[in-house]
Amino acid sequence: MLLNRKQRVTLNTTPMEEIGLFYGSDTGCTDDITKDLVAQWSDATVVVHEIDDVSAADFDRFNIIILGLSTWYDGDLQSDWEVFFEEFKTIDFTNKVVAIYGLGDQIGYGEYFIDGVGILAEVVLGNGGTIIGHWPIEGYRFTDSVAIIEGKEDHFYGLAIDHDNESQLSDDRLEKWISQLKAELQSYAVTHNEIAV
């Protein structure tokens, strides 16, 4: 199997590729899910950053990035993400593959369910990034969300976790999403690295 050398430098999705994970949590729920994600994705090196402790430059070294956040008030970013947001908008996501997971409450805040995922997705796409890990809206009860993909309305831009109402489903959802990400990363690498067999 031959890999195009230049492209391989651009995105190497071997198990040794480091994944940069950046997350924020107000009351600890996203924190818990993040720990579970890292534990479940044990065959990769996931370098975890709390978003209140980073600068835009910290994103540079990662080609594969995972963003985690909760949504607060009526569709607002988690508070640390809110503070970082202006700087986040300066990041160039060209050649970066990004997956997003969001925590929210589909019953209490059904008009704004995981809106934060959509807010971050818009920046990533606008700044040249590719988003993987789209997640079906099926099975959730909510009325609206800016995390719904335009033109693919039966999917969110990323994983939706409702720890407030459906914590019993969180492990299973996370496990499925990680498997999906692994498969998508593999196929992204095949497409973009021009692998010749």
Ligand X SMILES: Cc1cc2nc3c(=O)[nH]c(=O)nc-3n(C[C@H](O)[C@H](O)[C@H](O)COP(=O)(O)O)c2cc1C
Q: What is the spatial distance between Cα 60 and Cα 9, in angstroms, rounded to a whole number?
A: 14
**Considering beta carbons, is residue 20 or 24 the nearer one to ligand X?**
24
Near ligand X by CB under 6 A: residue from 43, 74, 150, 153: 74
Cα gap 114→161, rounded to integer Å? 8
- Minimal distance in Å, beta carbon 96 to ligand X? 24
Is 29 a binding residue for ligand X by CB under 6 A? The answer is: yes
Q: How far is CA 32 from the centre of its chain?
A: 15
Q: How far is the CB of 120 from ligand X (least distance, A)?
A: 14
Exposure string (b/e) for 13-31, b if CB count within 10 Å is 16 or more?
A: beeeeebbbbbbbeeebbb
The answer to whether 30 contacts ligand X (rule: CB under 6 A) is yes
Structure tokens at 117: 């995922």
Helix, strand, or coil here: 135?
A: strand
- Write the binding mask 160 to 179 for ligand X: x where contact by CB under 6 A, - elsewhere: ---xx---------------
> Where on the chain is the footprint of ligand X (CB under 6 A)?
25-30, 70-75, 78, 103-105, 109, 112-115, 163-164
